[in-house]
Amino acid sequence: MPVSGCRSASGNTGNREPATEREQLANGTGEILVLVKARADHGDRSIRECGHVYRAPCYTISGMSVKRGWLAMAVCAAACHPATVVQTATATRRALTVPILADGTLEAPPGAEVRAPEGGTIGAILVREGQRVARGTPLVRLDNPDFEQRVLASRSESAQLAEEQQRSAAELAAAQRERDHLKTIVDSDARLIKSGAITEQQRGADELNYQAAVQKAQQAEAHAADTTKRKQIVDDARRALESRSTLLVLRAPVDGIVFNLPRASGISIAPGQLVATVGVPQHVRVRARVDAPDLPRVRAGQRMIVKFEGLPNQQWDGTITLVPPGLREVAAREVGEVIGEITGDATGLPSNASVNVEIVIGEKASALVIPRGALLRDGNARFVFLYAGGKARRTPVEIGLIAPNEVEIVSGVREGDRVILPAATPLRDGDTVKVAS
């Protein structure tokens, strides 16, 4: 007879009762916790003692000839190997992007930096920070008293040489006239000596005067040439200084928005120092520092996504324009400094801001994806465990794109299948599993 009001298992094998002990504990849900200890012994067959607390629906087995030892073994086996609790994820189809992550810095495009050609101080700031300017607009005036004195000195020297050049030219002209006049006399002496109009002594004196005039004219010509050459050198230097002095008024190299202006007048500026920047919002460059192992996968023309922590809900698209052939060390990292350009309007980004860059090396508009942690490897083979009717089914798969947290499944899994995520206990094909609530 079954045990009244409880769950029992007995067989009609005479009046002999099963060699088991039960302890029943109500758990408050209408179920009974049964502690079963098997102590059955049938001749040479003995059941090793097994103790386990298990839950079972209330049932009665009666009218059956079941050997007590086998019943105890079945109860013990079921209780000692419970189902493994697992978590699952559903294979879904959506857009998949495979990025390389890098840190970067915004830069102005080439030619947009305004640097001081000479040292000095800020004499005047002629525009406002953030003002839109046209190419050639004066931005800042530099003052350099020493440089201005050099310009004045070169002008004065040029003026003095101009006066000397005029005197030399006048002296040369006079010497040439005297030489030419004496040459005429010497030529006429040759005729007069034949007619006896002059003596040989007179002719000799005229010849000496002529030779002295020739020498004086040559000296005057050399002096005039030297003065002209010196003035040319001084004038070239003066023009160079004057040209450089005009550069002390710094102008916008391109159309754009001016920023990074000096804080106030009177600030000392060194030669070559950055004084202002004229940015083109539609052509902001990004210098992204890509770790050495990732650099071979980066190509010019790839899409990039720029994010700024100060504006977490926005992002800017761009394109990689230059991939350097070499590496450099930055903060104990070997990186390649990849150059990209933001293609949209980047007026919301601060100049020279530090940004996060995602370089897209692969993407699909519609890919069947699962969590990357669900993908397992056995040698070169890839597989997953599918959840099917309370069992873990090992399933080989082929994969496509691999993202940091997701992987594309090309074959082996269908949309809507539930893949089992890794658990503390390794699974085998066919293991009984239970999905965690």
* Most confident stretch, 31-35, 60-64, 105-109, 395-399: 395-399
Give the chain's radius of gyration (CA, Å).
51
- CA distances (Å), 14 to each of 5, 7, 17, 67, in order? 22, 20, 8, 12
Total number of residues shown for the chain: 437
Looking at the predicted structure, is the pLDDT value of residue 41 above 70?
Answer: no
303 shares a domain with 398: yes
287 shares a domain with 242: no
Which residue type does 310 have? G
Which residue type does 39 have? R
What is the SS3 assignment for 84?
strand
339 shares a domain with 406: yes
pLDDT of residue 242: 81
pTM, two decimal places: 0.50
149 shares a domain with 68: no
**In contact, 248 and 143? CB cutoff 8 Å:** yes
For a pLDDT cut of 90, what percent of the chain falls above it? 55
118 falls within a domain: no
pLDDT of residue 13: 40
159 shares a domain with 33: no
What is the pairing mode between strands 274-279 and 132-133?
A: unpaired
CATH number at residue 381: 2.40.30.170
DSSP β-bridge partners for residue 121 = 143, 268
Q: Which residue has the higher pLDDT, 37 or 278?
A: 278
Q: Which of 40, 64, 82 is the last residue of a domain?
A: 82
314 shares a domain with 181: no
Q: Which of 65, 82, 99 is the last residue of a domain?
A: 82
358 falls within a domain: yes
296 shares a domain with 387: yes
Q: Which of 82, 99, 115 is the last residue of a domain?
A: 82
- CA distances (Å), 350 to each of 71, 273, 297, 354, in order? 77, 21, 29, 9
371 shares a domain with 300: yes
333 falls within a domain: yes
339 shares a domain with 243: no
Residue-wise pLDDT tens digits, 61-95: 333 444 444 444 444 444 455 789 999 999 999 99
pLDDT of residue 111: 60
102 falls within a domain: no
122 falls within a domain: no
175 shares a domain with 310: no
Q: What is the DSSP letter of 350?
A: P
Identify the domain containing residue 33 by its residue range.
8-82
216 falls within a domain: yes
What's the total number of domains in the chain? 3
Using CA atoms, how far apart are residues 354 and 350, in angstroms rounded to an integer? 9
Residue-wise pLDDT tens digits, 151-185: 888 889 889 999 999 999 999 999 999 999 999 99
Per-chain mean pLDDT for the chain: 81
**In contact, 395 and 119? CB cutoff 8 Å:** no
pLDDT of residue 136: 93
397 shares a domain with 353: yes
Phi/psi for 248 (5° steps) reads -70, -15
425 shares a domain with 287: yes
Q: Which residue has the higher pLDDT, 253 or 247?
A: 253
Looking at the predicted structure, is the pLDDT value of residue 326 above 50?
Answer: yes
378 falls within a domain: yes
Q: What angle do CA 104, 108, 110 make, to 5 degrees?
A: 115
pLDDT of residue 56: 39
426 falls within a domain: yes
* Helix spans in 100-144 (H): none
Using CA atoms, how far apart are residues 119 and 74, in angstroms rounded to an integer? 95
Q: Is 39 exposed, middle or buried (0-12, 13-18, 19+ CB in 10 A)?
A: middle
